[in-house]
Amino acid sequence: MQTLTVSLVQTSLFWEDKSSNLEMLSKKISGITEKTEVVILPEMFSTGFSLNPGALAETMDGPTVKWMKKIAAEKKCILTGSVIIKEAGGPEPLFFNRLIWMQPDGNYGYYDKRHLFAYGKEHESFNAGKTRLIASVKGWKIQLQICYDIRFPIWLRQSNPANPFPEAVNEKTELEYDVLIVVANWPVSRIHAWKTLLQARAIENQCFVIGVNRTGTDGNGLAYSGDSMIVGPLGEIIQVLPENEDILTLTLNKEITETTRKQFPFWKDADHFLIQS
C-alpha cells in the first residue's frame, strides 16, 4: 500500500480530431508493458487546447468518456486527463475544461478547471469550476489540477491542520494530499515557468508533483516541448521527459513523503486560510 505506479503519456495531439487522438492514445496505452495503476494524459487530450467548445464539447455520456471507461477497464487502471464537456445551463449550455478521474470499475470523479487562461481568452469560451477534487487510491490522496491552475498557490495549498488549534497537532496528523497531478498544454515559450512552478508546488506542499504536458504544434501554431516530470517533496526533479513523444512509468513510495514531513515539519508553521468560491 506504500507504493503507487504511474504512467505519464507525453504525446503530440491531432488538432480537433477526436477519433485520431483516441485511436493513437489507445495504441500508446496498450503498449505500456509495465504494471501501472494510474495513466495520465495531457490537457484536452482528445482535441488539443481548442477554444471551440460549441463544435467539440461532449456530454458525460459521450464517446470520449465512454472510451475512457473502456480503456480503464481493459487496462485495469485509473485513467485521467481533461476533455471539453458541456452541461445544461438554461437557455445556453455551460462548457468546462474537465479533468476526469476514471476508475477501472467505471466509477469516476471530475474536476473543472478553476483558473481559466484569460491571456489566451479561455474565459470567453469556458466556465470556471468552483471545487477541488482530491481522489484516493490505495491510501494515497491525490490532488488533481489543470495547467494554468499551478500559477495560483493558494488554490493548491495544503490546508493547515496545525492552525488555529496547534495543541491538536501530532506526528500522525495527515495533510490533505500526497500527490499533485497537473495535466497541461503548456507552450515552449513559457516552459521555464512550467518547470519552476511544478517544483515550487512540491516544495510548499511537501508532496510528489506529476506534470504531464504535450509535445508537437497545435492548430494555432503554438509549439510544445513536453518536459513532463515527476518532482519529489523537497522539490527535487526525479525524472523529466525531453521533447520527444514518450511514456514514463515510475513507482512512487509514500514513505518518502512521510519521512520528509516528519524530518522537516514545515507544514506546522503554515498560515490558516479559507478559500471562498
State the CB neighbour count (10 A cutoff) for residue 107. 10
Percent of the chain residues topping a pLDDT of 90: 87
* Tens-place pLDDT, residues 123-164: 999 999 999 999 999 999 999 999 999 999 999 999 866 554
Q: Calculate the CA 16 to chain-centre distance.
A: 21
Residue 276 lies in a domain: no
Res 274: pLDDT = 78
Res 160: pLDDT = 65
Residue 274 lies in a domain: no
Residue 251 lies in a domain: yes
List 8's β-bridge partners, or say none: 40, 248
What is the residue type of 197? L
CATH number, domain at 169?
3.60.110.10
Residue 50 lies in a domain: yes
Residue 277 lies in a domain: no
Residue 68 lies in a domain: yes
As a three-state string, the secondary structure of 86-106 is: EECCCCCCEEEEEEEEECCCC
Sorting pLDDT into bands at 50, 70 and 90, what band is 273? confident
Residue 92 lies in a domain: yes
Residue 70 lies in a domain: yes
How close are the terminal C-alpha atoms of the chain, in Å? 35
* Tens-place pLDDT, residues 177-194: 999 999 999 999 999 999
Domain span at residue 244 reads 3-269
Residues marked as catalytic: 43, 113, 147
Place of cell 516530470: 229
Res 123: pLDDT = 96
Cβ distance 146 to 45 under 8 Å? no
Sorting pLDDT into bands at 50, 70 and 90, what band is 275? confident
Q: Looking at the 3D structure of the chain, how many domains does it have?
A: 1
> How far apart are alpha carbons 44 and 38 in whole angstroms?
18
Residue 170: is its pLDDT beyond 60? Answer: no
What is the residue type of 50? S
State the CB neighbour count (10 A cutoff) for residue 63. 13
H helix or E strand, kind and range, residue 182: strand 179-183
